[in-house]
Amino acid sequence: MNAVRLQKVIADAGVASRRKAEELICQGRVTVNGKVVMEMGLKVDPASDHVKVDGRHLKPAAPKAYVMLNKPKGVLTTLEGPGADDRQTVQSLLKGIKQRVFPVGRLDYDTEGLLVLTNDGELAQRLLHPRYHVPKTYLVKVKGVLDEAQIRRLEKGVRLSDGMTGRAHAKKIRKTDENSWIELTIFEGRTHQVKRMLEAVGHPVLKLKRVRFGPLTLGALPSGEYRFLTDPEIHRLKDAAAGGEKLAS
């Protein structure tokens, strides 16, 4: 028996993300061999057990897909269709991708840059888990000009409402009389973290763009466009998320 957690089987079939699959299970919308299952962590054999979601049999696991998108400013990081106010979502930028892929983390509505999407739930969870310290690098335009003491504060950690931030790397890129650009690399994934860190040192963010995620760099990918990752990029991404453990290919 090749036992796999039920939520992973649902996610691998492309029905929903693993977190959403857990919600479906809790809502009683999943059956295994004709019986409603609401037990989290139950393992099933995809080859022999009959799994249904909302009365429909799961399709065979979709081939793994790994995508890099250059998310424009003014686009929601969601696949649920237009927002309540009809704002554009990243779903509208993914035409041509046959598999249902999900964003690895989020970029704010007014943040642009590198967004990874995949249907590899195990990899996505590891990339986001604080245990593995996957770095994320941003180009940040801020109001005013940071001094060296403020740069050191960003690197050593600043106190936010949810505690001290961890280590970071910060360096000045360029400046004008009224604002400046810095490159900031963080190893956490708190909500609005970069914006809150800069606010904490007295320099509100005016523009924010993610240019690197783990071993991946945005490069010359045009805004609003996507591309599939190359095999070497996928291997490097898995290495970054492995934390000393081998991930399945």
How confident is the model over 52-75, as a mean pLDDT? 90
Nearest one of 25, 28, 58 to 41, comparing CA atoms: 25
pLDDT level of residue 39 (50, 70, 90 thresholds) = confident
| Mean pLDDT for the stretch of residues 23-42 | 92
Determine which one of 12, 108, 110, 162 is catalytic. 108
Topology (CATH) of 4-57: 3.10.290
User: Is the per-residue pLDDT at 51 higher than 50?
Assistant: yes
pLDDT band at 136 (very low <50, low <70, confident <90, very high): very high
Phi, psi of 126 (to 5 degrees): -70, -40
The alpha carbon dihedral of 193, 126, 119, 232 has a sign of positive
86 is catalytic: no
Quickly state the pLDDT bin for 142 (edges 50, 70, 90). Answer: very high
Average pLDDT over residues 126-140: 90
What residues have CB less than 8 Å from 105, skipping those under 6 apart? 115, 116, 127, 128, 189
Single pTM value for the model: 0.77
Which CATH fold topology does 135-213 show? Alpha-Beta Plaits (3.30.70)
Pairing assessment for the beta strands 205-213 and 112-118 based on DSSP bridges: parallel
Average pLDDT of the residues of the chain: 90
CATH class of residue range 66-130+215-242: alpha beta
pLDDT at 112: 97
What are the tens digits of pLDDT across the range 162-218? 999 999 999 999 988 889 999 999 999 889 999 999 999 999 999 999 999 999 999
Q: Give the C-alpha separation, 10 to 72, whole Å.
A: 30
pLDDT digits (tens, 9 = 90+) for 209-245: 999 999 999 999 999 999 999 999 999 999 988 864 4
* Percent residues over pLDDT 70 in the chain: 95
Q: Where are the domains of the chain?
A: 4-57, 66-130+215-242, 135-213
Quick check: do 4-57 and 66-130+215-242 share a fold? no
- Maximum CA pair distance of the chain? 68
